[in-house]
Amino acid sequence: MNAPHRIAVEYEKPSSFNVCSTEQVWASVPEEPNAIEREELIAKIKAQLIEKNAVLVAHYYVHPDLQDLAEATGGLVSDSLEMARFGRDHSAQTLVVAGVRFMGESAKILSPEKRVLVPEMDANCSLDLGCPAEEFSKFCDEHPDRTVVVYANTSAAVKARADWMVTSSIALKIVAHLKAQGKKILWAPDRHLGNYIQRETGADMVMWQGACIVHDEFKTIELEALKKQHPLAKVLVHPESPAAVVALADAVGSTSAILKAARDFDAPEFIVATDNGMMHKLRQQNPHKTFIEAPTAGNSATCKSCAHCPWMAMNGLRNVLEVLEKVGTGHNEIHIDEAIRARAKLPIDRMLDFAQQAGVTQPSSIDSQVNKGIGPA
Ligand code: SF4
């Protein structure tokens, strides 16, 4: 009765020579618990978090139950970097990271002394899967004159090969800063975000050609048609989306920037091009506004991700409870080779130091840029 639903997920796997192949993996999405089981699971998780001195941190894209539970128990719902920073600064010795695997790794990189658990070890990311460390390292070797800047959605091993790590919320500022220093950039892994940054900064960038399977699917013609049906709606777009979709946006930015734009724009309706897990927080924070999912497929066409990440969907109440009940057994615990962890921390620390010096207490600089119309607003 509780068997997870297995779905095939295709993703693009570029090589160092920019030859792209399509690979397939499986994602096991848990069945929804019924109302009685749901309440029981929530009560048990609350008790386990206290008993095990643990805190739950969740990404905006996971199931609403996990987002609400994280907040109700003193945890956090946020983007990947804030999740890792919150876990580092929290007194709990065990962190349960509801998101995807690289988020667990980021938490471990910043908190090596803590136990970091993930509900599902196979919860992956097409950007991470599509940028294997060995291939990426060859790509870097081919461009020794370039500063290596990688996105947060990468493995610890790829971060360990980088000079800088950035999130979508501070990428523009850091690349503009490097350009001003006369640096040429090697960017990985998301090609759409990389192209967006290149357009905005004019930096000299070579790019790994990865893509997010969710954001890559948003469709321009259908979005234009939806805008006509909702002429008062503002369009909010994550920059992992294709350039033609970004060009239709009123605001472009990270998850935190999208939340801010939804609060700040005085509009009754919004069309949102990012994972539909975001709708929960958008609707919670803006109960009198209407949020509509941007289209991922045309009339009678099919979609692959249908605007929801299959790996984020692998997180559920049952596997969160399971990791808590098995604390101390090694079940779903993140381990990173210490040499890789220490090296991977350098590009993260560099970004955090930059954010602090630039007066960005939280690296969410696109937030301020959204309303200034930076990006194709
Ligand atoms: S939504 Fe895209 S970028 Fe985020 S975890 Fe899923 S595949 Fe990766």
Q: Are 218 and 238 in contact (CB under 8 A)?
A: no
For the CA of 124, the nearest atom of ligand 1? 5
Q: What is the pLDDT of residue 360?
A: 66
Q: Who wins on pLDDT, 6 or 337?
A: 337
Distance CA 362, CA 350 (A): 14
**Predicted model pTM:** 0.92
Q: Who wins on pLDDT, 164 or 306?
A: 164
Q: What is the pLDDT of residue 17?
A: 62
Q: Is the pLDDT of residue 338 over 70?
A: yes
Q: CB neighbours (10 Å) of residue 299?
A: 7
CATH domain 132-213+338-361 topology: Rossmann fold (3.40.50)
Tokens of 201: 């900064």
Tell me the pLDDT of the chain averaged across its residues: 92
pLDDT digits (tens, 9 = 90+) for 48-68: 999 999 999 999 999 999 999
Q: Is the pLDDT of residue 83 over 50?
A: yes
Q: What is the pLDDT of residue 367?
A: 36
Q: Report the CATH superfamily, name and number, of domain 32-125+310-325.
A: NadA-like (3.40.50.10800)
Tokens of 276: 């539909």
For the CA of 99, the nearest atom of ligand 1? 5
For the CA of 311, the nearest atom of ligand 1? 6
pLDDT confidence tier of residue 361, bands split at 50, 70 and 90: low
pLDDT confidence tier of residue 238, bands split at 50, 70 and 90: very high
CATH architecture of 215-307: 3-Layer(aba) Sandwich (3.40)
Q: Is the pLDDT of residue 375 over 90?
A: no
pLDDT digits (tens, 9 = 90+) for 286-297: 999 999 999 998
Q: What is the pLDDT of residue 5?
A: 86
Query: Which residues share a beta bridge with 21?
Result: 13
Distance CA 298, CA 296 (A): 7
Half-sphere exposure of 134 (CA within 13 A, CB side): 0
Q: Would the CATH topology of 32-125+310-325 be identical to that of 132-213+338-361?
A: yes
Best of 103, 212, 304, 315 for a ligand 1 pocket test (most atoms within 8 Å of beta carbon): 212
Q: Which residue, among 83, 100, 132, 173, has the nearest Cα to 357 in the 3D structure?
A: 173
Length of the chain: 377
Q: What is the pLDDT of residue 374?
A: 31
pLDDT confidence tier of residue 168, bands split at 50, 70 and 90: confident
How many Å lie between the centroid of ligand 1 and the Cα of residue 88? 23
- Which residue puts its alpha carbon closest to atom 1 of ligand 1? 309
Contacts of 106 (CB under 8 A, 6+ apart): 80, 81, 83, 84, 152, 156, 348
How many Å lie between the centroid of ligand 1 and the Cα of residue 36? 31
Give domain limits for the chain: 32-125+310-325, 132-213+338-361, 215-307
- Which residue puts its alpha carbon closest to atom 6 of ligand 1? 309
Q: What is the pLDDT of residue 299?
A: 65
How many Å lie between the centroid of ligand 1 and the Cα of residue 295? 17
